[in-house]
């Protein structure tokens, strides 16, 4: 599973990254977590408002930090 956290490095983006790490750990799954901070790479994802979250290439949320429970749901949808 590939999970991408998209954002320029702001507080909310870093919070989302930590929540994703926690969700993956609690779910006990193998996952590659990628943190995309380069503006050119952010533009390629199609996400125009950060933070953004993609799981297996699908945009799950944009412009907000979802809670841990919601992140776990996004992950379980892609297993």
Interval 19-49: pLDDT, tens: 999 999 999 999 999 999 999 999 999 999 9
Total-model pTM: 0.95
Q: Which domain holds residue 53?
A: 2-77
Percent of the chain having pLDDT more than 70? Answer: 100
Mean pLDDT score of the chain, rounded to an integer? 96
Alpha-carbon distance of 55 to 35, in angstroms, equals 12
Q: Choose, from 8, 10, 11, 67, the residue flagged as catalytic.
A: 10
CATH number for 43:
3.40.30.10
| Catalytic annotation, pick one of 3, 13, 19, 47 | 13
Is residue 48 part of the annotated active site? The answer reads: no
User: d(Cα 72, Cα 24) in Å, to the nearest integer?
Assistant: 8
Residue 2's pLDDT is 98
| Confidence (pLDDT) at 79 | 86
- Looking at the structure of the chain, the number of domains it has is 1
Q: What is the DSSP string of the chain?
A: -EEEEESSS-HHHHHHHHHHHHHHHHHT---EEEEE--HHHHHHHT--SSSEEEETTEEEEESS---HHHHHHHHHHT-
Residue 69 pLDDT > 90, yes or no?
yes
The answer to whether 15 is a known catalytic residue is: no
């Amino acid at each position: 599973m590939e999970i991408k956290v998209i954002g320029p490095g702001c507080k909310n983006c870093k919070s989302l990254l930590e929540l994703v790490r926690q969700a993956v750990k609690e779910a006990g799954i193998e996952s590659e977590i990628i943190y995309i901070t380069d503006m050119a790479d952010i533009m390629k994802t199609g996400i125009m408002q950060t933070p953004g979250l993609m799981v297996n290439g699908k945009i799950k949320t944009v412009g907000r930090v979802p809670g841990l429970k919601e992140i776990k749901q996004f992950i379980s949808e892609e297993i």
